[in-house]
Structure 1
Amino acid sequence: MKILAFAGSNSEVSINKKLVTFAASFFSEYEVEIIDLNHFEMPIYKNEREIESGIPQLAFDFAEKIDESDLLLISLAEHNGSYSTAFKNIYDWVSRIKGRKAYGGKPVFLMAAAPGRRGGASVLAAATARFPFDGATILETFSLPFFNENFSEKDGILNEEKRAELQAKSATVLQHFQ
């Protein structure tokens, strides 16, 4: 099984990249590729740009990464209650590829981390409602609130309940493939 993991953020110090990388460790017996959205940076989507120049090759490259995978691990950054601009722009361009749904019919384990108590609840709600329309099957969701208190670079999730929750949800996701 091939797993594609990424954070919905272009921050060099993204807490969501840290979370998705840690979550990927629960899938270590499989081939896991962790990608960085900075490698898929494109001009901001607008209809006129698409008409003038077409869809950027990077959108096709991102879609190919999705298509080559059996499972997506996505941890979304929450910016003002929604997706980060970096993620949304890639999503917008990929959704313009003729004949495809953005997530290519793939199963998704959707996550979010935030420094506050809600743990990215708004972006998780938005994505859980929207992604299925664009070809994602949401298998599980996970939220890590108070990231700075609940996570360490060395040990991962420090809060035992949240660590156990992520481990259990990862196991549930894997059952989908058995």
Structure 2
Amino acid sequence: MPIIRSPRQHSWLLWGLALLALAVWGRPLIQSTQFENHFFGLFYYSILAGLALFWALPSEQRLIAGQFQRRTLLLGLLPTRTVSAPVSAFREIRLEQDPNLFRRDTVWLMICGEPGNPEQVARFAFAHWPASARNIAAASQLQAELAAATGLSIVRAEDTAAE
């Protein structure tokens, strides 16, 4: 059962620690006696609360019992929302590279169906990585594991360039 989870990554925990450090760092804004500092403190902590909300609701993608599932988890533990689609709604597994202007390109592992068929889901993003040789190899390995587990065909980047 292939699973991709954000909370298993070290960066997720580091972001949580950074949010905590930012909360402590901003305390002088709300402990001040000046009105301007309270105003900026309210603005600062409202932005921090929004970031903490996104951090506290990571997602996981998995293949379980013939279903592709995307679950949103509270703090990486308690499922709050689940979206699923049957494997039969898809026909191929693709690796797509998305160019970025300011950082490395992104490699996406996409599960694709037929866009013209209303009974089939068009696309399901299973995982993504920054484009590096090691990450592309990991993406290819996961693509092969998913293909073996589901029976879906693998579409290579060379095949999509010819279309």
TM-score with structure 1 length normalisation? 0.25
TM-score with structure 2 length normalisation? 0.26
- Structure with bigger strand share is 2
Which of the pair has the greater relative contact order for Cα pairs under 8 Å at 6+ separation? 1
Find the structure with the greater CA-based Rg. 2
